[in-house]
Chain A
Amino acid sequence: DTEVTQTPKHLVMGMTNKKSLKCEQHMGHRAMYWYKQKAKKPPELMFVYSYEKLSINESVPSRFSPECPNSSLLNLHLHALQPEDSALYLCASSQGSLNYGYTFGSGTRLTVV
């Protein structure tokens, strides 16, 4: 299995809702990432998990809460989001070594209304 699977593919939520994005990989990768991508922009890093521990938080607002239950799963819990949080949320995984590429999922297209 050489894929990163993200669910759901599309999500519409109100500003008072609580929702979660899910990401799964079975490649044995030890690092997992959340990226946010706005229209016509490159992906921007949000969080890095290494060996199931949060190692980088790029000053992301607390309304985004990551969780890594085990080495194959990564969640992003969403609460009280704003319309400007609407974006494509990408999950990725990697071996963790510098010269290895990242494997990205297809993303969750999030719309906050």
Chain B
Amino acid sequence: TQLLEQSPQFLSIQEGENLTVYCNSSSVFSSLQWYRQEPGEGPVLLVTVVTGGEVKKLKRLTFQFGDARKDSSLHITAAQTGDTGLYLCATHLIQGAQKLVFGQGTRLTINP
């Protein structure tokens, strides 16, 4: 069973459209992070959300942490071809030491 469930797993839309991807769990988290990964590169941190109900904006990207701190969403307004990539949510687990675990990702393709 996946700790973090992301949906949809694949999304292909036209440039200029809006989209939302989701990251859900039955567990409560102290924080949650979103990363974006392009082919042949490592993931790059986009945002960390910590407080339940928190909303953070990064240009056309809006991130929200659920009130109960069990879920998060990423909304992109007026998508651009440069937004294409693998979007990963992640959270920290403490098992003797801290480790970051990822959801299975949403592969986003923005078509011109």
Contact = CB atoms under 8 A, between A and B. Distances in A.
B61 interface: no
B43 A104 contact: yes
Nearest to A101: B45
A42 B103 contact: yes
Q: Could you say which interface size class chain B belongs to?
A: 20 to 34
Contact of A99 (B31, B41, B102): B31
A98 B31 contact: yes
B interface majority secondary structure: strand
A43 B44 CA distance: 12
Interface of B: 30-31, 33, 35, 40-45, 48, 50, 88, 92, 95-105, 107
Most chain A C-beta atoms within 10 Å of own C-beta, residue among B30, B31, B92, B99: B99
A98 to B, nearest CB: 5
Contacts of B30: 98-99
Contacts of A101: 33, 35, 45, 48
13 contacts: A33-B100, A42-B102, A42-B105, A45-B100, A48-B99, A50-B97, A55-B96, A55-B97, A99-B30, A99-B50, A106-B41, A107-B41, A107-B42
